Structure 1
Amino acid sequence: MSIGGPSFHVCQFSSAVASGGYTIWLFIASDVQTILLPSTIFGITNALATLDFRDVQYQFPAYLNTVYRIPLIIGWVGINLLPLTMNNQRSPSSIAEDSLNKPWRPLPSKRLSGSQAKRLMFGFYALAVVYSFFYSGGHRQCLGLIILGTCYNSFGAGDHNPVIRNIINALGYFCFNSGAVEVALGSGSAVFTESFEARQYSLRLWSMVITAIILTTMHVQDMCDQEGDAKRGRRTLPLVIGDAAARWSIALPMPVWGVICPLLAGSGPLATGLSCALAFAVAIRMLMWRDTASDRNTFRVWNLWISVVYMLPLLGGVSLS
């Protein structure tokens, strides 16, 4: 006599799906505020500001088109982010580091084995390529992220030199941001083609400014992970040049970027004040509050600031009609 019926098996299936979805969520949970949301914001706001960025070969920047494509943007960023995080978290040294810093992640919490994570990684890499090439756009950035992720995670390119680590991070952010814009516009590689009518603060220039910000300040994320990075043997900037010097290397450029970015975007007083206030807050917190919990909160403020910077072209009174 069999135990249970159709409803029992449906419950089992639903439970398995929920558990699997939660496991996948845990891979990217700590990157939602650093990559998923900011890159989505960048794609949406800069797509809406296309008439201000005259080198975008797109003649009809309709509000509804961008709104309709928001799920595609989130899907593109998420499906390209997932295999990167899986590759980043599956090595023994990463598991040891996460057991200190993020023990809730799937591998240190024993929700998945390393071999299972590897199979999932390849599966999501394949899905990302198919999704980008045949459905959403952003295929060049998808391939760029695969190459950068392989160099960073499989070959340890970011473990031994903090400058190379920041360069890879900056290029990764560039891929996520520019890919999100392409998906939002639905215009593929035309987003970054040449135009003789490009304005001073063109989309290409703005993307390069964002990349420079990441390059010069992204090690703010390393300040709260020094214990785990030291255990792994990763040579991040605070471990190479010292905690105090690393803090000053973040605190000094932050106010500069806080002022320059709204000027380049032609923002009004309110947006300029918000950018400056958050940038100065990061700089002050970095120098005054130096414990791990405070550094983690400072990184959250930095993420809030970079999200505001992403929206500056739209907050600057850009005409969309």
Structure 2
Amino acid sequence: MSYFAATTLHRALHHFETAWLFTRSDFKTTIFPVMIFAIVVSPHHNVLALFYALCWLWFHLFQFNVSNQSCSIHEDVLNKPWRPVPSGRISAKDSRALRWALMVFCLGLSSLFSLNAVITSAVFAVLIIVHDDIHLGDHPIFKNLCNVGGYVTLELGSLLILSRESWLDGTSIKALSCSALVILLTVHAQDFADVNGDRRSGRRTLPIIAPEGSRIYMFCAFPLSSFALASVWSLGPFSSLLFVSMSAWVGIRYYLFRDEIRDQANYRLYNIWIMGVHLLPATVRFRALAW
């Protein structure tokens, strides 16, 4: 291999690793749950469409992370120093430029599918601007609203591409509504492990504002939400017991275990529960979970 080819390959691998590091921590929080949602809720399935949906999702998540991480350097130095900006792999200035380039790329990518995909991509871009540039992400309530909007937008775009439909049926609308409500009620789960970094950057998250009250809230929110979802999706008795019991255990852990390491473990369990939430529409699509 020539020196030029070897250098080009090394640079390409370096850039791929940088892109991976921007999104590494969000596979469990976003990629897996959203793709599970799209697969379960979509009335049609196709391997190629699944690949397209995954690519669409990853590039949009990449766009958000590049923007968000370029604005949260002080927090990431403490909480996630391996990310590209705090580790020095890319400067904040270059990541901001990359963010705008990715916005244009994502809109172009969406144009390959449908008008609704383009609209979804545009809404997602606006939410990023509102969250990062207008700094609504620093406010506890508006941050959660932005998170809900962004998450549901990613679900909607992935679903539209996978299903190859320009409209949503009743089950899809019901699933998106349930997902939005669950994320709104429980998204605070992500903030407990990041209290030190959030406090350093001046953010006012629920665990910072109400350290004890937020723990009590999580203790109650998980089982109550699960009980309601089991009723909405008409789960069978065993499925309902299993689902509610799992959520109760997550809630108990958030209340009892309060150090940073265990809060990180709690958040991983929360994401497993979210995947379970996204499996519930299988009762309609596949006539499953009726036992």
TM-score range normalised by the length of the shorter chain: over 0.9
**Which residue of 2 is the match for residue 213 of structure 1?**
182
Aligned length: 287
Instruction: Please tell me whether residue 174 in structure 1 is matched to residue 178 in structure 2.
Output: no
Report the Cα distance in structure 2 between the residues aligned to 1:141 and 1:273, rounded to whole angstroms. 36
**Which residue of 2 is the match for residue 8 of structure 1?**
3
For the residue of structure 1 that corresponds to 2:161, the secondary structure is helix
Report the Cα distance in structure 2 between the residues aligned to 1:315 and 1:308, rounded to whole angstroms. 12
Report the Cα distance in structure 1 between the residues aligned to 2:134 and 2:184, rounded to whole angstroms. 20
Report the Cα distance in structure 2 between the residues aligned to 1:248 and 1:142, rounded to whole angstroms. 36
Q: Give 1:273's aligned amino acid.
A: L
- How far the C-alpha of 1:167 sits from its partner, in A, is 1.2
**TM-score under structure 2 length normalisation:** 0.93
- How far the C-alpha of 1:314 sits from its partner, in A, is 1.4
For the residue of structure 1 that corresponds to 2:136, the secondary structure is coil
Report the Cα distance in structure 2 between the residues aligned to 1:269 and 1:182, rounded to whole angstroms. 32
Could you report, residue by residue, the CA deviation over 1:222-241 in whole angstroms, capped at 9, with x for unpaired residues? 0011110011001111112x
**Which residue of 1 is the match for residue 199 of structure 2?**
230
Structure 1 residues 140 and 275 mapped into 2: Cα distance closer, same or farther (>3 Å)? farther
Report the Cα distance in structure 1 between the residues aligned to 2:252 and 2:195, rounded to whole angstroms. 20
Greater Cα offset, 218-227 or 311-320 = 311-320
Report the Cα distance in structure 2 between the residues aligned to 1:72 and 1:273, rounded to whole angstroms. 36
Instruction: Please tell me whether residue 83 in structure 1 is matched to residue 52 in structure 2.
Output: no
**Which residue of 2 is the match for residue 119 of structure 1?**
97
**Which residue of 2 is the match for residue 56 of structure 1?**
none
Report the Cα distance in structure 2 between the residues aligned to 1:8 and 1:277, rounded to whole angstroms. 59
Structure that is richer in helix per residue: 2
Note the 1:58-77 alignment, pairs <5 A: 61=44, 63=45, 65=46, 67-77=47-57
Instruction: Please tell me whether residue 292 in structure 1 is matched to residue 260 in structure 2.
Output: yes
Same amino acid, percent of matched pairs? 27
**Which residue of 1 is the match for residue 16 of structure 2?**
21
1:148 to 124, 127, 142: 127
Q: Tell whether the 8 Å contact from 2:218 to 2:255 is kept in structure 1 after alignment.
A: no
**TM-score under structure 1 length normalisation:** 0.85
Q: Tell whether the 8 Å contact from 1:267 to 1:313 is kept in structure 2 after alignment.
A: no
- How far the C-alpha of 1:210 sits from its partner, in A, is 1.1
Q: Give 2:137's aligned amino acid.
A: G
1:106 to 76, 79, 84: 84
**Which residue of 2 is the match for residue 55 of structure 1?**
none
For the residue of structure 1 that corresponds to 2:280, the secondary structure is helix
**Which residue of 1 is the match for residue 112 of structure 2?**
134
Report the Cα distance in structure 2 between the residues aligned to 1:258 and 1:78, rounded to whole angstroms. 28
| Structure 1 stretches of at least 4 aligned residues deviating more than 4 Å after TM superposition | none
Could you report, residue by residue, the CA deviation over 1:2-27 in whole angstroms, capped at 9, with x for unpaired residues? xxxx5332222111111100001111
1:259 to 219, 227, 236: 227
Q: Give 1:173's aligned amino acid.
A: Y
2:41 to 42, 46, 49: 46
Report the Cα distance in structure 2 between the residues aligned to 1:244 and 1:140, rounded to whole angstroms. 41
Q: Tell whether the 8 Å contact from 1:33 to 1:303 is kept in structure 2 after alignment.
A: yes
- How far the C-alpha of 1:260 sits from its partner, in A, is 1.8
Instruction: Please tell me whether residue 186 in structure 1 is matched to residue 186 in structure 2.
Output: no
Greater Cα offset, 148-157 or 267-276 = 267-276
**Which residue of 2 is the match for residue 273 of structure 1?**
241
Report the Cα distance in structure 1 between the residues aligned to 2:228 and 2:88, rounded to whole angstroms. 46
Q: Rg: which structure is higher?
A: 1
For the residue of structure 2 that corresponds to 1:158, the secondary structure is helix
Report the Cα distance in structure 1 between the residues aligned to 2:9 and 2:285, rounded to whole angstroms. 47
Report the Cα distance in structure 1 between the residues aligned to 2:11 and 2:237, rounded to whole angstroms. 51
Could you report, residue by residue, the CA deviation over 1:150-206 in whole angstroms, capped at 9, with x for unpaired residues? 0111111021x3111111111111111111111111113x126xxxxx4xxx32122
For the residue of structure 2 that corresponds to 1:103, the secondary structure is coil
